[in-house]
Every structure is written in C-alpha cells, then in structure tokens.
C-alpha cells in the first residue's frame, strides 16, 4: 500500500470503462467520481505506559443517492485519505450491485492494532466516534468491520454513539451477536467468496470439487473462504498471511489451519506453524499454477511487476482492489477470468444490511434465514452480472460496474440532479 495514488488510479480506470460503455455525460461522471465528503482528524491517545501517541482518523463518504453511506472501518498503519477515497467508492458500487439501499463510505485509523492494548483501542475507537458522531448514525452512515477491526470495535461504537445520541443498535453492523449482531455476519464474506467462486467455476467449466486453489491472506475472509471451499471439495494447496505462505501440492489440512487462525487474534502467525507443508513466500503463492487464485489480503498485490508470472485460470477478488488496473488489462488479454471485488466479497455488506434491518425491527433472525437470504441475493447478483457480461460482451468487472452505475444514475435522476 505504498503507492498512494495507485488505488485511485485503478478506480478511475475501471470507472472510465463503464462510463464509456454507458455513454455517461461529463457532469454525471464528475459527480460520481468525487466523494461527497472527506474528513481527517487528529486522535491523540494517552498510552497505558503514560506516554502519548498521535494518530489520524478518517472517514470518506462517497455517495448516498440510494441510501445512507455504508462501509467498513479499517485499522492499519499505512492507511491514508487517498486509500479511503478509493475504498469508499468501491463500497458505492458494491451496495448498488447487490441492490442494497445504501451508498458507500470507508474510514479508519492509521494505527497498528497489534501494537495497542485493548484498553488503548477502546479509547481510540470511542474518541473516533466522538469526533464524527454528527456524521454517522443509522440513517446517515453505518460503519462495519474491515481490516483490523471486528465485533469488539463495533460494540464500542454503539456505546460511544449511544452516550451522545439515543441508544441505537443500527449505528454499526458486524456487532457481537449478544449486542444485536446478525448470526452468520462473521463468516458471511468468506462464505460469499466460496459461493461466488463455485458459481463462476461452474460457468467456466472448472469442477470446484476437484479444483486447486491458493488463498493469500488468512484472516477472517481468507480463512472462511478456505473453510467453505474445502467443504465443497476444493483442494487448497496454499495459504498465507503476512509472515509466510504454506504449500502442499495435494492439499493443506484446512481444518487444522482454520483452528489456528481462530487463535491468531492472540498474535499467532503461519510462520510458527509446523506440519505437512513447505514454506513459501507471498509472491510465490501468487505465481502458483492453480485453477483459482484468491487474494484475500491487501490491495494492489497483483500489479504490473508480477502479473506476467500469474498462472491461475481464475482470480476471485476477496480483498478490495487486489489487482491494479494495469495488471487487470494484462490478465484480460491473457484470458484470465477475474471475479471483481464488488461481487466476490459482497457477502459481508449484504449480511450487514440484514443486521441493520433486524436492528431497526428490534428482532433477531435465525442463522438459517440469514444464510438463505444471503445466498439468494448473491445468486441473483451473479446471474445479473453473468447475463450482462454475455449480452454486452463485457468482462465480469465491467458488467458489474455497468449494473451498479445504472442503478445509481437512475436514483440520481429520480431524486432530481
Ligand atoms: N468492510 C466490508 C467491505 O469492504 C464490509 C462493509 C460493511 O459491512 O458495511 O465490504
């Protein structure tokens, strides 16, 4: 994530392709390109040891023509405003593609959560909410987990917000089940990745129950995608986290590794694992000869420097923006099928929507009902993308963007531009 401009450049390029296809007029293009609001603010923190640290908080609200802003909260030491603008924009297209009544937003703090105590993180999160309480809320902007945050942080948001305004569970999604969270939200993104991967594999004539896959990133999304694909019979031959990759040509023992991943919150890493596998680097994982490659970690990992070596038949973007626009063109030319992030990882925000609906009803649904609804919505979106791609002879990313944009432009016209 070192090149600040790279994510925005990729967003621009994907968007321009879709604008061109839809012949969008220049004024509308400008409106859709620029975020509605971008904020950055200081977050000073008194550390447990008495010293002080200064962090920066961010929230970018991109578009709200179809409903309140919606998007995750990322804690990572290398984030900056440029990244959040790109990530917020992606959320606008994602919520529209899934036909959820939301817009797009993203925010976070430039901290390394592993280096902070739970007490320090709680103070920082609650201070973040104090700073932007006037901009968030169930009908304004609804944060959710992203990289470096989870149910614990969402519960702190509910608390901080409720001290400023009235108690309201719908101010954040991805909360603990005991505090209005939706059953299934934690595994929803990984489940969605596995489901979309299976449907896309079917379309390409790849038998998912015999396919070979490699997954980069073994956090919540990567480990759950591995688990659900493993259940479908897919051979996961490599996984990785920031410390290293693990590789076994005949398939890894996913159950054991997932068990380990569940303890990772306490600081465990794959490089400390021992077992029947060879250790490889993250770059080697991206170059494996697999049917399915699933980047489920940071953005920009497949770029012009390594794309020539990518041998996968299909790439499923479980992370947000893991492929730069240059690399995307190269993959298209080579005939590698890419399933775009706004479809592949949309399971998370889809269950976030169901959680928000539950909270507003003051009701909690059974897990099966949520998973059925998630599956129905993801299948519908995949069918829409697939048919549009066929009809207009587009790749899947362009088809997905075109559908998302059409809905937003329609909403803007109906409301009065
Ligand atoms: N951070 C997730 C994403 O990028 C989830 C967002 C949400 O649930 O609002 O889609």
Average pLDDT (49-76) is 98
Q: Is 320 in the pocket of ligand 1 (CB under 6 A)?
A: yes
| Residue 144 Cβ < 6 Å to ligand 1 | yes
**H/E stretch holding 69:** strand 69-75
At residue 260 the predicted structure's pLDDT band, cuts being 50, 70 and 90, is: confident
The model's confidence at residue 302, banded by pLDDT at 50, 70 and 90, is very high
Q: How many CB atoms are closer than 10 A to CB 122?
A: 17
Cβ of 173 closer than 6 Å to ligand 1, yes or no, is yes
One fold for 35-170 and 186-344: yes
Q: Where are the domains of the chain?
A: 35-170, 186-344
pLDDT tens figures, 167-215: 999 999 999 999 999 999 999 999 999 999 999 999 999 999 999 999 9
Among left, alpha and beta (phi > 0; psi -120 to 50; other), residue 216 is beta
Token couple for 73: 């909260």
Ligand 1 centre from 71 Cα, in Å? 5
CB of 150 shorter than 6 A to ligand 1? no
Q: Which residues on adjacent β-strands are paired with residue 314?
A: 292, 337
For the chain, the 3-state helix, strand and coil shares in percent, each to the nearest 5, are: 50, 15, 35
Separation CA 407–CA 270 (nearest Å): 42
Q: How far apart are the first and last CA of the chain?
A: 36
Q: Which residue has the tokens 């924009």?
A: 89
Tell me the best of 59, 62, 97, 145 to mutate to test the pocket of ligand 1, counting ligand atoms within 8 Å of each CB and taking the most.
145
Dihedral pair phi/psi, residue 299, rounded to 5°: -80, 160
Active site residue 266: no
> Which residue among the candidates 70, 94, 106, 183 is catalytic per the annotation?
106
The beta strand positions in 284-397, using DSSP E, are: 292-295, 314-316, 337-339
Q: DSSP secondary structure string, 259-289?
A: HHHHTGGGT--GGG--SSSEEE-HHHHHTS-
Query: 302 forms bridges with which residues in the sheet?
Result: 323
Ligand 1 pocket test, pick from 189, 196, 356 with the greatest ligand atom count within 8 Å of Cβ, gives 189
Distance in Å, CA 144 to ligand 1 centroid: 6
Q: Ligand 1 pocket: which of 352, 355, 356, 377 to mutate (most atoms <8 Å of CB)? A: 352
Q: Are 343 and 320 in contact (CB under 8 A)?
A: no
Which atom of ligand 1 is found nearest the CA of 102? 9
Say yes or no: CB of residue 352 within 6 Å of ligand 1: yes
**Which phi and psi angles does 406 have, rounded to 5°?**
-55, -45
Q: How far does residue 174's CA lie from ligand 1's centre (Å)?
A: 9
Residue 263 predicted with pLDDT over 90? no
pLDDT band at 1 (very low <50, low <70, confident <90, very high): very low
CATH tag, 35-170? 3.40.50.10860
Q: Where are the beta strands (DSSP E) in 202-330?
A: 212-216, 235-240, 245-247, 278-280, 292-295, 314-316
Mean pLDDT across 120-141: 98
Assess whether the C-beta atom of 108 lies below 6 angstroms from ligand 1.
Answer: no
For the segment 224-236, the average pLDDT, to the nearest whole number, is 98
Per-residue buried b or exposed e for 340-362, using 16+ beta carbons within 10 Å of the residue's own CB: bbbbbbbbbbbbbbbbbbbbeee
Quick: pLDDT tens for 97-129.
999 999 999 999 999 999 999 999 999 999 999
CA distance 54 to 43: 6
With tokens 């896309």, the residue in question is: 200
Query: Per CATH, the architecture of 186-344 is what?
Result: 3-Layer(aba) Sandwich (3.40)
The verdict on the CB of residue 103 being under 6 Å from ligand 1 is no
């Amino acid at each position: 994530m070192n090149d600040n401009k790279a994510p925005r450049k990729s967003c621009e390029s994907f968007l321009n392709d879709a604008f061109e296809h839809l012949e969008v007029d220049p004024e509308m293009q400008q409106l859709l390109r620029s975020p509605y609001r971008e904020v950055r603010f200081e977050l000073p923190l008194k550390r447990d040891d008495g010293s002080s640290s200064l962090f920066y908080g961010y929230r970018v609200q991109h578009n709200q023509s179809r409903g309140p802003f919606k998007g995750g909260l990322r804690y990572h030491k290398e984030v900056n405003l440029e990244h959040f603008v790109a990530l917020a924009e992606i959320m606008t297209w994602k919520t529209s593609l899934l036909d959820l009544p939301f817009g797009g937003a993203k925010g976070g703090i430039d901290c390394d959560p592993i280096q902070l105590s739970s007490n320090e993180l709680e103070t920082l999160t609650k201070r973040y909410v104090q700073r932007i309480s006037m901009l968030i809320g169930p009908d304004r902007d609804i944060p959710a987990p992203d990289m470096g945050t989870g149910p614990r942080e969402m519960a702190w948001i509910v608390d901080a917000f409720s001290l400023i305004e009235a108690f309201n569970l719908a101010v954040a999604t991805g909360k603990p089940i005991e505090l209005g969270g939706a059953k299934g939200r934690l595994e929803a993104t990984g489940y969605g990745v596995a489901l979309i991967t299976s449907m896309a594999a079917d379309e390409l004539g790849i038998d998912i129950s015999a396919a070979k896959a490699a997954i980069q990133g073994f956090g919540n999304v990567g480990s759950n995608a591995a688990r659900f694909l493993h259940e479908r019979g897919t051979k996961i031959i490599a996984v990785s986290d920031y410390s290293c990759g693990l590789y076994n040509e005949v398939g890894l023992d996913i159950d054991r590794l997932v068990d380990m991943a569940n303890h990772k919150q306490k600081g465990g890493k794959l490089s400390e694992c021992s077992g029947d596998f060879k250790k490889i680097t993250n770059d080697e994982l991206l170059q494996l000869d697999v049917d399915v490659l699933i980047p489920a970690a940071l953005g920009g990992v497949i770029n012009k420097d390594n794309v020539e070596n990518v041998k996968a038949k299909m790439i499923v973007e479980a992370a947000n923006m893991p492929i730069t626009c240059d690399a995307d063109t190269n993959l298209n030319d080579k005939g590698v099928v890419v399933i775009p992030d706004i479809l592949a990882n949309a399971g998370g925000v889809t269950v976030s929507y169901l959680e928000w609906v539950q909270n507003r009803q003051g009701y909690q649904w059974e897990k099966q009902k949520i998973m059925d609804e998630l599956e129905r919505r993801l299948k519908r979106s995949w069918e829409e993308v697939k048919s549009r791609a066929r009809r207009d002879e587009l790749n899947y990313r362009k088809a997905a963007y075109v559908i998302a944009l059409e809905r937003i432009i329609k909403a803007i016209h109906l409301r009065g531009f």
